[in-house]
Structure 1
Amino acid sequence: MNTNLIPPAPLFRDPIYDGATDPTIIYNHEEDCYWMLYTQRRSSAVNIGVSHIHGTLIGVASSKDLVHWIYRGTLPNLEFEPGTNTFWAPEVIYVDGTYHMYVSYVRGIPTNWNHERYILHYTATHLWEFTFESMLNLSSDRVIDACVSEIEPGTFKMWYKDEVHNSYTYSAISKNLYDWDVIGPEITDVSHEGPNVFTLCDRHFMITDFWNGLGVYESNDFTNWIRKADILNTPGMRKDDGQIAHHADVVVSSNQKEAYIFYFVHPEYNPLQMPKDFEMTYKEARTVIQVAQITLGADGLICNRDKIFSLTLS
């Protein structure tokens, strides 16, 4: 086992506000390295209600090996209207030399959850230089957490959380990544957020954050999903990994044999143990990014967050 490629725990902490959440991993072709884009919560700031989860920028960290990460700052020039606004949960797909980013957006810095939310589309040929394209017209005015995959050549599918419709996963289809036709609800067994779709050994999976670990679903056609055994729903033993996992991204090797899940954790906060009106201090608000290995099992996915492994992609 290559000890230089054994991931530390935690894998990454935001050095500005200690609030890295909602990670997505994308290969940066111009810099020849991996980028982690994430919601930069202001966990160390003075908070009123949930103000620290709003007014957030998109943080950037880079790595040559997915193990050793360095903070690079935040994505510039995302504002498309006046004011200080909120950007969450970036999703990036690279197609024919262009990066397409779909990011959740809330106007201003609300102190509660009762505000409209949208998904914005940006494009770039270099990851530091995104251009605003549009605000997507989807199934409601409270949609977040886009995930986009090419489900067949030239056909792209988006999954996202619709908070107006019970916080279920809805989906939409596009032929060009600019114009999207809403299909409707797709995962409706329980309220959740953060859908993420990937293929491992020719099997299609979706994971969701249902606030009690991560739900796992499997499909033969990217549409009809069967619930499998949950993962990351019990505390781990590594440093800052002792609570349930949240909103994750999965990186799969090019040969579809290895897979790794990047997720965030509140090391000192479990929402199931707190009253609804609880206001976090820095202790409860801080978050970290962790990574674990995923393998296939009889009932879907296996993820032992305490297992020591070398992170390598074939």
Structure 2
Amino acid sequence: MAAKPLYRDPVYDGAADPVIIWNSKLKKWWMFYTNRRATAEGETGVTWVHGTRIGIAESSDGGASWKYLDTAVINYRPDKGYTYWAPDVLEYQGTYHMYLTYVPGTFTDWSHPRSIVHLTSSDLFHWEFQSEVKLTSDKVIDATVFRLPDGSWRMWYNNERDRKSIYYADSRDLYTWQDKGKALGERGEGPKVFFWKNKYWMLVDVWAGMVFYSSDDLVHWKRQDQKILGEPGTGAEDQAIGGHADVVVSGGRAFVFYFTHPGRRKDKPAADNSIESKRSLIQVAELKYDGEKISCDRDQPVMIRLAKNEINSRAAQ
């Protein structure tokens, strides 16, 4: 049974934006996450959400429990105080690819540029810079990449210059991308695209829980009325909204790995700008599908043992 909370970062207690991937060499599951500096002292404004690294945790029991390993070694550091956010990681033909949000410094506000950079690795730990992905604006974050039926690739991301709408771009080889414009007209961030129950799904963080969209062609998306993780749970440190998640499909079941700020519960909110209000952690819940909509009961115990990625939810089926 999965631990609750599932994972806390021992460095700054600020784990957020998780992505889960099978490490085929070590035969273990790895979690990459934004290592927010929640417990850092002397921070002003939102500097604690900048200057962040990408943490790595490891699971030897199929995702039920996780231990901290280290931060990813990324050889792209062109600016003083550089910031890494929200990685998406996939494997293709023996090479791991990371699409990472990069911010050129540590800033007190949200007004500065950010880009998505492409990195590759042979071991999931050491990452080599390939390029800055040329997208529609100079403020783009939160990439997710999915393989299309014809073997090409599609990236969805958040364009902050257009009311934080979701945009997309296509590639034949994971290296060269062509921007295609807006995918969704509604605001949201942290899109995650996956295949499950003979449908394509996109899960989007709308800052009041998360919303599912379904599609038959990966172009036209239908919004599901019911959100998930918008209402408080009763489990340990799970009373605030869930956000920016990953979804792993295994054995026909789907699991949502999400982060939450336990100190931001509505009934007992922590003081503004306190460590308790900043810290974040990772939880997991199982998704259910009734033939019409996806639901999620965050209070139910999660019996999880992810197998070796026998279902590739990042590719068209």
> TM-score normalised by the shorter chain: which range applies?
over 0.9
Report if aligned partners of 2:232, 2:265 keep a CA contact under 8 Å in 1.
no
Counterpart of 2:255?
Answer: 260
Counterpart of 1:115?
Answer: 112
Q: What are the equivalent positions in structure 2 for 1:113-262 lying under 5 Å apart?
A: 113-189=110-186, 191-228=187-224, 229-253=226-250, 255=251, 257-262=252-257
User: How does the TM-score come out when normalised to structure 2?
Assistant: 0.92
1:280 Cα offset (Å) = 1.7
After superposition, give the CA deviation of every residue in 1:241-278 in whole Å (9 maximum; x if it has no partner). Answer: 0011010000001x5x101000000001159x99xxx9
SS in 1 for 2:17: strand
The separation in 2 between residues aligned to 1:203 and 1:215, in whole angstroms, is 15
SS in 1 for 2:48: helix
- CA RMSD for the aligned pairs? 1.7
1:45 Cα offset (Å) = 0.8
> Structure 1's 103 and 55: CA in aligned 2 closer, same or farther, altered over 3 A?
same
SS in 2 for 1:206: strand
Counterpart of 1:303?
Answer: 296
Report if aligned partners of 2:79, 2:104 keep a CA contact under 8 Å in 1.
no
1:84 Cα offset (Å) = 2.4
The separation in 1 between residues aligned to 2:78 and 2:303, in whole angstroms, is 44
Unaligned runs of 5+ residues in structure 2 are 308-317
Q: Quick one: which amino acid aligns to residue 160 of structure 2?
A: E
User: How does the TM-score come out when normalised to structure 1?
Assistant: 0.93
1:298 Cα offset (Å) = 4.1
Q: Quick one: which amino acid aligns to residue 148 of structure 2?
A: I
After superposition, give the CA deviation of every residue in 1:180-203 in whole Å (9 maximum; x if it has no partner). Answer: 0011101112x2100001111211
1:32 Cα offset (Å) = 1.0
The separation in 1 between residues aligned to 2:89 and 2:74, in whole angstroms, is 16
1:292 aligned residue (276, 285, 300): 285
Deviates more, 1:169-178 or 1:43-52: 43-52
The separation in 1 between residues aligned to 2:241 and 2:79, in whole angstroms, is 37
1:312 counterpart = 2:288:
no
Report if aligned partners of 2:76, 2:128 keep a CA contact under 8 Å in 1.
no
The separation in 2 between residues aligned to 1:23 and 1:309, in whole angstroms, is 17
Q: Quick one: which amino acid aligns to residue 201 of structure 1?
A: K
Report the identity percentage: 39
1:91 counterpart = 2:84:
no
1:179 Cα offset (Å) = 0.4
1:39 counterpart = 2:12:
no
Report if aligned partners of 1:11, 1:289 keep a CA contact under 8 Å in 2.
yes
2:20 aligned residue (22, 25, 29): 25
Report if aligned partners of 2:148, 2:154 keep a CA contact under 8 Å in 1.
yes
The separation in 2 between residues aligned to 1:187 and 1:77, in whole angstroms, is 31
SS in 1 for 2:263: coil
1:312 Cα offset (Å) = 2.8
1:14 counterpart = 2:9:
yes
SS in 2 for 1:14: coil
Counterpart of 2:68?
Answer: 71
Q: Quick one: which amino acid aligns to residue 109 of structure 1?
A: T
The separation in 1 between residues aligned to 2:59 and 2:149, in whole angstroms, is 30
Question: How many residues end up aligned between the 2 structures?
Answer: 303
The separation in 2 between residues aligned to 1:211 and 1:12, in whole angstroms, is 21
Give the 4+ runs in structure 1 shifted more than 6 A. Answer: none
Counterpart of 1:3?
Answer: none
The separation in 2 between residues aligned to 1:139 and 1:303, in whole angstroms, is 34
After superposition, give the CA deviation of every residue in 1:107-145 in whole Å (9 maximum; x if it has no partner). Answer: 110010000000000011111121000111101000000
Report if aligned partners of 1:218, 1:300 keep a CA contact under 8 Å in 2.
no
Q: Quick one: which amino acid aligns to residue 289 of structure 1?
A: I
Report if aligned partners of 1:50, 1:279 keep a CA contact under 8 Å in 2.
no
2:52 aligned residue (28, 53, 56): 56
Unaligned runs of 5+ residues in structure 1 are 1-5
Q: Quick one: which amino acid aligns to residue 164 of structure 2?
A: S
SS in 2 for 1:152: coil
The separation in 1 between residues aligned to 2:265 and 2:238, in whole angstroms, is 12
